[in-house]
Amino acid sequence: MKKIIFASVLVVGASLIFSGCARKQQTMQGTDQTVPVSRQKKVGNTTKTGKIVKIGNDYYIKELGHEPATIDSYDVDLGSYVGQTVTITGQYSGDTLFVGKISVK
């Protein structure tokens, strides 16, 4: 009886270990960050319309009915659009939307 219980505990323990390994493999590969698949954002063009705000050194776009989204850009001077309502197009890297194109509404 003790052997059956011990074997059952080993099987359950091994199952938990292997399921944890499988979950860890479902992360972004080829990046410096490990982000669970459930938290990854789609990479591709994303368009948002809202007001650009600056808090500290960070820029955000405030869309009506949504939480402010962190934005950044290598191509656009976001500081010149603070306080204006704009439409931005860019791509996500992690939780930050990198703006490639901006137009004033």
- What would the pLDDT profile of 47-77 be if each residue is shown by its tens digit? 999 999 999 999 999 999 999 999 999 999 9
Q: Are residues 90 and 52 in the same domain?
A: yes
d(C-alpha 105, C-alpha 99), whole Å? 16
The CA–CA distances, whole Å, from 90 to 66, 71, 74, 99 equal: 18, 9, 11, 4
Is the pTM of the predicted complex or chain greater than 0.75? no
Provide the domain limits for residue 30.
2-39
Q: Report residue 100 as tokens.
A: 């490639």
Low-confidence ranges of the chain (pLDDT < 50): 16, 21-31, 35-40
* Buried-state track 25-48, b at ≥16 Cβ within 10 A, e below 16: eeeeeeeeeeeeeeeeeeeeebeb
57: helix, strand or coil: coil
Residues 11 and 35 in one domain: yes
Residues 55 and 17 in one domain: no
Does residue 73 sit in the same domain as residue 99? yes
